[in-house]
Amino acid sequence: MRIISICLLLILPGSFCYGQKLNVTGEIRHIKCPDDKNGRIKLNIKGGKAPYQFNWSDGSQSDYIVNVGSGKYQCTISDANGSNVTKTFYIKKGQDVDVRYDISEKKSISFSVNDNNRYRIRYVADDGEFGVFSSSKSNNVKRKNYKVYVTNKQGCVKVFDILNSTDR
Task: From residue 111, give the alpha-carbon distance in Å to each of 30, 102, 130.
Answer: 29, 7, 17
For 84-100, what is each residue's pLDDT tens digit? 999 999 999 887 777 77
Would you mind telling me the total number of residues written for the chain in this entry? 168
For the whole model, what pTM was predicted?
0.66
For 104-114, what is each residue's pLDDT tens digit? 776 777 777 76
> Which H, E and C letters describe 31-96, residue by residue?
CCCCCCCCEEEEEEEECCCCCCEEEECCCCCCCEEEEECCEEEEEEEECCCCCEEEEEEEECCCCC
Task: From residue 130, give the alpha-carbon distance in Å to each of 32, 108, 127, 146, 161.
Answer: 27, 16, 9, 9, 14
Confidence of residue 23 (pLDDT cuts 50, 70, 90): very high
CB 39 within 8 A of CB 64: no
Local structure of 117: helix, strand or coil: coil
The whole-angstrom distance between residue 88's C-alpha and the CA centroid of its chain comes to 16
